[in-house]
Amino acid sequence: MRTYKIKCFKKTTLYRILGALVVVAFCAIVLIISKHNDYPENSPTPTQSPTPAPFACVILDAGHGGFDRGASGIETGIGEGELNLIVTKLVKAELEANNIEVILTRSDENALAGTKKEDMAIRKSIIQNENCDAVVSIHMNKFKDRSIKGPMVFYMKGCEDTGGILANYVIKALCEAIDHPLRRSNPGDYLIVRESYAPAVIIECGFLSNPEDERNLSDPEYQKKLAKGIARGIMDYLLDVKMQELRQD
């Protein structure tokens, strides 16, 4: 009898333990499934928020291309047109990641036409026909004195209150990004900045005639820093302008 009671007690305990294990296993499975599928088939899917409209629009012009190589590196002979496109695409990615629409004048290694004159005419028509907030042309510099180095930013002379402001933001952010002493922006008279209706700048990222600059400008990590600095400057300018527009409304 005692033996039976003991056996009976043991069986009851065993069933309880087994029951508890089944409950724990069931809960674990439910937990795993819910982690893998936040929205089970039968649940209503959450409303997807619409993609916000672009905050602003910027035209990026990678200088030269194709038959027009631009300046050449003093040591490796690397072509300016090739480097301009690399930096331009990196700037594009930075701006687009910040909800800014980007239009490129050229998106591959080719020129826009068979002659320099036609090529520049097409660039001019793109920057005049697209209604954008800013135009940024990206280049690499050269000079007969090989010791000259560092970035420069040009705006159309007489446009201190428009292109000049954009140029100041860009040179500041660019110098900070590559840890270069702050430089002033420079007035100039070049087709891209002269013909643009929107505030426009030409960025000379560095001198291919200087060996140190050439090494830096060919280095992917340095190119990323350059692009981040240029994008930062453009965005600082756009924020400034948009804030002023809001204050005037």
Q: Which two tokens stand for residue 5?
A: 């009671």
Q: How far is the CB of 217 from Zn ion (least distance, A)?
A: 12
Residue 57 or 113: the one with the smaller Cβ distance to Zn ion is 113
CB 217 within 8 A of CB 80: no
The values of phi and psi at residue 59, to 5°, are: -95, 125
Measured over the CA atoms of residue 215, residue 68, residue 126 and residue 121, the dihedral's sign is: positive
Residue 70 or 79: the one with the smaller Cβ distance to Zn ion is 70
Q: How far is the CB of 119 from Zn ion (least distance, A)?
A: 12
Report the alpha-carbon distance of residue 104 to residue 95 in Å, rounded: 12
Q: Enumerate binding residues for Zn ion (CB under 5 A).
A: 63, 70, 139
Report the alpha-carbon distance of residue 210 to residue 146 in Å, rounded: 5
Helix (H, G, I), strand (E, B) or coil at 111: coil
Residue 206 or 233: the one with the smaller Cβ distance to Zn ion is 206
Residue 160 or 195: the one with the smaller Cβ distance to Zn ion is 195
Q: How far is the CB of 124 from Zn ion (least distance, A)?
A: 16
CB 190 within 8 A of CB 202: yes
Residue nearest Zn ion (C-beta atom): 139
Q: How far is the CB of 213 from Zn ion (least distance, A)?
A: 14
